[in-house]
Amino acid sequence: MEIRTTREGNDNSYNAEIELHLQLLLPYNSLPAQASAVEYFRRLLIRNHILPPPFADALIKSLIRCLRVNFANIQRDAAWALTNCACSPHEICYKIIQYGGLEALVECAAETDGETRDQVFWALGNIALDCPTCQEMVQNSAALPLMINVLVSPTFIRSKWIRNLIWALSQIIRGGIRTLDITFVRAALTGLRPVLYLEDSKIKMDAIWTVAYIADDNVGGGQIDAVLQTPALLERLIELLAEKRAMPAALRALGNLVVGDDAQTQAVLNAGLLPRMMELFGPMMPINQKREIMWILSNIAAGSQRQIDLLFETNDIVEILTDTF
């Protein structure tokens, strides 16, 4: 009985503390008081992403309001707290969208820079990761054009904030994107190309996957053309086949390009895909990468007679495949 009473007492104290800080978040309080309350919830949600259900609605609404309060670290801490809310169960994450959080996050990112904007991009990536509906709503918001404009700014490639932006882009575009204007697609590819030369393998891998998702275009082929027309991008994707961590994403990107029409497939072949890919093919290659290569080869074999001939003229390809399998 004593243990139960102590636990109930702790729960009541915890809930009372949350209620007190929720009161401090209300707009009629002083800005320093609001800043202190937002910081409290940022720290609380770092420790525990699961909000007590009775307080979730009020807290998320208040945090969204605080994204528009330019005082001290209020905007940064509100974005940080919402980033952690987006890691909660779907019902909690969706409330961010339900209460206008996407618009407020994009507005906050447009008006800030540095750590605050970086935290907003992280939050947007987490929301997109929650479920297909959330991802679609982020795609249909003003988030992507804003993120791409930041990506292509001349100095951003050297910014310490690039990691979260590239990761968030990969999550928002994951599975393909159909609603983004082709002008922004081309701009995104221009911004991603130099990222593929960075030494940081995690950032580079996220960037390759983003290119692969853009190339996943089976309607019209305009996005495939955009990839092929971005200077040196196709050649860099082929070079990245030699890097162990980058290879799976590079294979997927190249495979998505080969799915295009005969002219698009020929452009990939002209860049030297087949000999480079078959140099790497062998018995010790992971089975999932073998499947990716076989998928690429099957799409080439479904192309023009010229492409079929090229396929079987490449580095004793029949013998390689026979020995491997």
Kindly report the average pLDDT of the chain as a whole number. Answer: 91
Lookup: tokens for 257: 């390009």
3-state SS assignment for residue 198:
coil
C-alpha distance from residue 189 to each of 82, 83, 210 (Å): 29, 26, 9
Which domains occur in the chain, in start order? 29-214 (1.25.10.10), 231-324 (1.25.10.10)
CA distances from 7 to 1, 3, 13, 49, 245 (A): 10, 6, 10, 20, 48
The predicted structure's pLDDT at residue 282: 75
Q: Residue 5: its pLDDT value, please?
A: 39
Q: Give the model confidence (pLDDT) of 14-60 as tens digits.
A: 889 999 999 999 999 999 999 999 999 999 998 876 777 789 999 99
- Residue range 238-290, pLDDT digits in tens: 999 999 999 999 999 999 999 999 999 999 999 999 999 888 887 788 889 98
Lowest-confidence pick of 48-62, 106-120, 153-167, 182-196? 48-62
User: Regarding predicted confidence, which is higher, 172 or 220?
Assistant: 172
Residue 49 is predicted with a pLDDT of 66
Longest dimension (CA), the chain: 82
Cβ contact 245:209 at 8 Å: no
Report the pLDDT value the prediction gives residue 53, as an integer from 0 to 100. 77
Segment 192-199 shows an average pLDDT of 97
pLDDT higher than threshold 50 for residue 143? yes
Summarize the confidence of residues 205-211 as an average pLDDT.
98
Q: Per-residue pLDDT tens for 299-324? A: 999 999 999 988 888 766 776 666 65
Buried b (16+ CB within 10 A) or exposed e, 220-246: ebebbbbbbebeebbebbbbbbeeeeb
Q: How confident is the model at residue 10 (pLDDT cuts 50, 70, 90)?
A: low
H helix runs in 152-195, sequence order:
162-173, 182-192
- Percent pLDDT > 70 in the chain is 94
If one counts every other C-beta atom within 10 angstroms of the C-beta of residue 217, the result is 23
Specify burial of residue 300 (Cβ count, 10 A radius: 0-12, 13-18, 19+): buried
Percent residues over pLDDT 90 in the chain: 76
Residue 9 has pLDDT above 80, yes or no: no
